[in-house]
Amino acid sequence: MSQPLDNTFLRTTSRSNSRPSPPSQSQSVQRRITGSPLSTSDFCTLASSRQTSQPYSGQNLSHKLDYPIDSSKGVCNTMAGILSNDAYNALGQYPGKRRQIPFRLFLRLAVIFTAVCTLGYFGVGFLRSSSLSNESAISRAESMDPRLLSEHCDIPHPGRPLIQYVLMIDAGSTGSRIHVYKFNYCKTNPELEDEVFKQLEPGLSSFKDNVDGAAHSLDGLMEVAMRSVPESMHKCTPIAVKATAGLRMLGSEKSNYILNAVERHLREDYPFKLIPRSPVEIMDGKDEGIYAWITVNYLLGTLGDSEHNTAATFDLGGGSTQIVFEPRFELWDKKTGGPKMAPGEHRYEMTYGGQEYTLYQHSYLGYGLMEARKSIKTLIAQELFNAGKFSVDHPCFPPGFHEDVTVGDSKTQITLKGISKEGLKGQSASDACYKQVRKIFNKNAPCLSTPCTFDGVYQPSLAQTFAQNPFYIFSYFYDRTYPLGVRDEFSLNDFKTLTDKVCNYNMGLFAKEEQDEIFAENHYCLDLSYQYALLVDGVGMNESRTVRSTRKIKDAETGWCLGASLAILSENNYCK
């Protein structure tokens, strides 16, 4: 009998159960198989035609595969190869060497073979199907505009869209600003997810004789809206324009012409949905303050809190300033509950998150920073005119400052100039300026309902009804303190120290960029003196009181715009 050479050997199959004669060409089927296991038919033929007296141990079922399986057919062929090769080893590699394979073992091998083939067929098909399904889902997700998705959930609250955009334009006295808010409805109430902000100058009130120019001055802001909101949501994205004190001061006729031109331009030239009620309007000062209060407390998460640990807000704009807080009269006198809030327009009641709020609010028209500047300069000029003087070196202004102010109807020009350190002759410019700005508050006005702040305006005492809760001041308060290194939280004593440094021209106490800021804005001494007086002498805050000044809370702009946008969403459903 010849020995196999390399991987070449002879296999002989026979259907006889008796010992055969030496194999011959006529009595056996000879096959040359090189480097591969037996086929399925070989295995079946061998298993049915050869028997052995020695039981099969099954050791060769651990046969190792050296090539990949890429289909169900490959699985079946591979298993057939394993089983047939093992069977061949059990039957014997050489013709004429008789061995027996038990029928029970053969049946077991056949069952294993059938099961593996079946699992391979369906398993590979399932994996292929799952792979295609996953690839399709990934492809769809990648092609989905991320502006239409939420970072917090995939399924919205019933009856609500997953995403809702709101466009709010703040037409202020010194410029116009757009807020593009992205909300999700993962829960019952809208949750702010993102905000895009842009501002442009000048404001609408600068176009009092050019209404079309006023309308088109917003185009730069609308370009931001067109880029930020997905096209598929343009028609269900509400937009509103709310003008504040600057436009209010133009008078009803001129301001209405401008408002009508703006509304017509937005309706005809842009795809967004103007809100149903007063889409372009001059906002009431009361609403401006309330919306700012809602914004801050919404971002702080204090709305709906049963403890009512809400924050106060004091928004200093260019033309007006608004204060809003929730007086806690029960803290005044725990036995009697203290006095109640006096009736009047200052009282504002609202409900949010199952909690009822009674707020105090007031908007001081004409006491915004830009209007206060005018009032202070006019008062200085009038005092000089009454004294028969036409020029003054004043401590509220820095060296090199020069401005002519007209007094009354006389058209007389009074020149205001800055004062040098030498001209101060040892006196404090800060104290002198502070003394001057306090005069515009009209503290002697009749007070019909006590206690009053200034101009005869009723206000509950902050010291007695709001001593502990946070107090947020922003807008121009922030713009004048942050560039000079005052951050986030500080006391009014710190505010006074900063004012002294600026007004007394102690420039060595400031960094180079802070010095540049002070020289670039030559009203810093006047502005800081007015702001300090407004807080202490105006609304009656204690000098040791800590305030917080910020432009953003949780990456969202403070101010009234977010609160107004939440009010819009509470009134109507826009995207379905």
Same domain, 532 and 450: yes
Residue 245 · residue 320 · CB < 8 Å: yes
DSSP 160: S
Whole-number pLDDT of residue 34: 38
| Number of CB atoms found within 10 A of residue 478's CB | 20
Q: Does the residue 13 lie in any domain?
A: yes
- Gap between the Cα atoms of 382 and 388, Å rounded: 10
Helices (H), 144-217: 211-216
For the chain, report the end-to-end CA distance as a whole number of angstroms. 87
Kindly state the helix (H) or strand (E) to which residue 414 belongs, with its residue range: strand 412-418
Q: What is the CATH number of the domain that holds 476?
A: 3.30.420.150
Task: Using alpha carbons, select from 489, 477, 485, 471 the residue that is nearest to residue 532.
Answer: 477
Q: What distance in Å separates the CA atoms of residue 70 and residue 424, rounded to the nearest whole number? A: 93
Predicted confidence at residue 20, as pLDDT, reads 43
pTM of the full predicted structure?
Answer: 0.69
Q: How many CB atoms lie within 10 A of CB 231?
A: 10
- Would you say residue 469 lies in a domain? yes
Which residues form the domain of 88?
A: 8-138
What does the alpha-carbon distance between residue 371 and residue 374 come to, in Å, rounded to a whole number?
5
Exposure string of 267-303, with b = 16+ CB inside 10 Å and e = fewer, is: eeebebbbbeeebbbbbebbbbbbbbbbbbbbbbebb
Answer yes or no: is 41 within a domain: yes
The token duo for 304 is 């709906």
- Collapsed DSSP state (helix, strand, coil) of residue 149: coil
For residue 148, being part of any structural domain is answered with no
| Contact between 526 and 440 (Cβ < 8 Å) | no
179 shares its domain with 269? yes
Domain co-membership, 82 together with 192? no
Give how far Cα 145 sits from Cα of 163, 228, 229, Å.
12, 11, 11
The CATH number for 223's domain is 3.30.420.40
d(CA 542, CA 545): 5
Phi, psi of 174 (to 5 degrees): -110, -10
> In terms of domains, do 446 and 490 share one?
yes
Quickly tell me which residue has 């090769």 as its tokens. Answer: 85
DSSP string, 211-257: HHHHHHTTHHHHHHHHHHS-GGGGGG-EEEEEE-HHHHTT-HHHHHH
Whether 176 and 122 share a structural domain: no
Residues 534, 473 share a domain: yes
For 207, 301, 455, the CA distances from 296, given in Å and listed in that order, are 32, 9, 27
Kindly state whether residue 173 falls inside one of the protein's structural domains.
yes
233 and 104, same domain (yes or no): no
- Could you tell me if 201 and 350 lie in one domain? no
Count of residues making up the chain:
576
* The Cα angle at residue 149 between residues 148 and 153, in degrees rounded to 5: 145
Dist CA 140 CA 186 (whole Å) = 22
Binding-site positions for ATP read 318-322
Q: In this structure, how many other beta carbons lie within 10 angstroms of the beta carbon of residue 129? A: 10
Please work out, in degrees rounded to the nearest 5, the angle formed at the alpha carbon of residue 113 by the alpha carbons of 111 and 115: 70
28-to-18, 49, 88, 91, 205 alpha-carbon distances in Å: 14, 12, 16, 16, 110
- Using DSSP's 3-state secondary structure scheme, residue 357 falls into strand
Residue type, 159: G
Number of domains in the chain: 3
What is the four-CA torsion angle of 306, 309, 310, 311, rounded to 10 degrees? -170
Q: Tell me how crowded residue 316 is: count the other CB atoms within 10 A of its CB.
A: 26
Identify whether residues 263 and 315 lie together within a single domain: no
> Is there a domain that residue 498 lies in?
yes
What's the CA gap between 552 and 558, in Å, rounded? 5
Q: Are 290 and 563 in contact (CB under 8 A)?
A: yes
Other Cβ atoms within 10 Å of 332 Cβ, number: 17
Residue 140's alpha-carbon distances to 64, 127, 136, 147, 229, in angstroms, are 41, 20, 6, 14, 20
CA 561 to chain centre: 14
Q: Answer whether residue 330 is part of any domain.
A: yes
Domain finish residue from 256, 283, 310: 283
Q: For position 85, what pLDDT does the model report?
A: 47
pLDDT at 19: 40
Q: Is 396 contained in some domain?
A: no
In the block, which residue shows the tokens 């052995």? 52
Same domain, 353 and 478: yes
Q: Which residues of the chain have pLDDT under 70?
A: 1-143, 331-338
Taking the CA atoms of the chain, what radius of gyration do you get in angstroms? 43
Q: How many CB atoms lie within 10 A of CB 339?
A: 16
Runs of H (alpha helix) within 98-218: 103-143, 211-216
User: Which residue numbers belong to the known binding site?
Assistant: 318-322
- Cα–Cα distances (Å) from 21 to 17, 179, 339, 463, in that order, read 12, 99, 124, 120
Asked whether residue 277 falls in the same domain as residue 342, the answer is no
Active site (catalytic) residues: 288
* CB of 11 closer than 8 Å to CB of 88: yes
**312 vs 555: CA distance, rounded Å:** 19
Question: Which region holds residue 301: left if phi is over 0, alpha if psi is between -120 and 50, else beta?
Answer: left
Write the DSSP string, 317-373: -SSEEEEEE---GGGT-TTT--PPPPPSTTEEEEEETTEEEEEEEEEEET-SHHHHH
Which tens digit of pLDDT belongs to each residue from 182-241?
Answer: 999 999 889 999 999 999 999 999 998 999 999 999 999 999 999 999 999 999 999 999
Rounded CA separation 419/429 (Å): 9
88 and 198 within one domain:
no
